[in-house]
Structure 1
Amino acid sequence: MSTIFRTARPAFRARNFFRPSNGRRFQSTASTVEQSWAKKFWNSETGPKTVHFWAPMMKWGLVIAGISDFARPAESLSFTQNAALTTTGLIWTRWCFIIKPRNLPLAAVNFFLAMVGITQVSRIALYHQSQKKLAAEGE
């Protein structure tokens, strides 16, 4: 029985043979070179290699479309569509500060989406209010 433990003992020690005493495994002990801003951005958790970067970039299209609707008359705007954009912008702005990694570009685009939506909903509400006032004066 003692021969089995003696033969197993060196094999047990061999498992930790390549692990250094400081706990790090196969890592260089040389100091790391400071990366450039572009390299840090490229490799970050919210960099261009991730959906955390491209989702806000695509969502700016909604903001631009909403801004272009400022030139349209209020009677041709959809209240439900703009209310949905406002609600979406407000909810996702808050959510962007809760999720990990915190996504500030997505929070910014959602904030601007909410502001565009609030502006459009206000224009639509003012238009409908003025139409009601004109109808009341006409009677």
Structure 2
Amino acid sequence: MSARFGLRSAQQASRQSSTGTGFTFRSRNPIFRRYQGTASNPAAETVVPPQQSLFQRLWTSEVGIKTVHFWAPVMKWGVVIAGASDFLRPAEKLSLTQNLALMATGSIWTRWCFIIKPQNMLLAAVNFCLFLVGTTQVTRILLYQQSIKGTEGALKSMEQDVVSAAKDVEKKVEAKLS
């Protein structure tokens, strides 16, 4: 009983001392109080909020656990993991347009994460990783396509060599028969 009485006394005393400071407490729960100063009383801005636990800070943050700013990046990691799992697939089975889209999406949204308010570093990190995955896959696809073109050129020159060698052998056989 004395602990409750002490807490109530402290709350009443803080309310009485804060009546002239330009801010009031509207919440009954002291953990979720917002301390706001006014331009008429800059001293009110120096009030230090009570120390919160890590969970309380995560819960009450603008980008905390109970907001879409937290859950959207968490779910987007699935897209990054799916793109990274394609590292094990051969390059000829990858889609260039799909990976270009991943690369573009990652770069555009990484930049956007620094413009929007509140800035969401978790979303910026997942989008940057998406950009890296897309860039890696696009590079693999382009290198594969270049090697195919190089191989086709080499095959054509080898084919021409074989055809010319066959014609030479054919001429020599005809010369011996005649």
Report if TM-score (shorter chain) is over 0.5.
yes
Residue 101 of structure 1 is aligned with which of 99, 118, 129?
118
Residue 107 of structure 2 is aligned with which of 90, 101, 117?
90
Unpaired runs of 5+ residues, structure 1, are: 1-19
The alpha carbon displacement at 1:38 in A equals: 1.5
Amino acid at match of 2:142: A
% identity of equivalent residues: 59
Deviations 1:5-61 (A, max 9, x none): xxxxxxxxxxxxxxx433223568997431011110111000111100011001000
Deviations 1:51-104 (A, max 9, x none): 000110010001100111000000000000000000000011011011100000
Q: Which has the higher contact order (CA 8 A, sep 6+)?
A: 1
Equivalent residue pairs, number: 121
Q: State the SS of the aligned residue for 1:65.
A: helix
Corresponding residue of 1:25: 24
Residue 63 of structure 1 is aligned with which of 51, 75, 80?
80
Following superposition of structure 1 onto structure 2, how do residues 2-21 of structure 1 map, counting pairs within 5 Å? 20-21=19-20
Residue 93 of structure 2 is aligned with which of 68, 76, 98?
76
TM-score by length of 2: 0.63
Q: CA RMSD in A?
A: 2.1
Q: State the SS of the aligned residue for 1:68.
A: helix
Amino acid at match of 1:132: K
Unpaired runs of 5+ residues, structure 2, are: 1-18, 36-46, 157-178
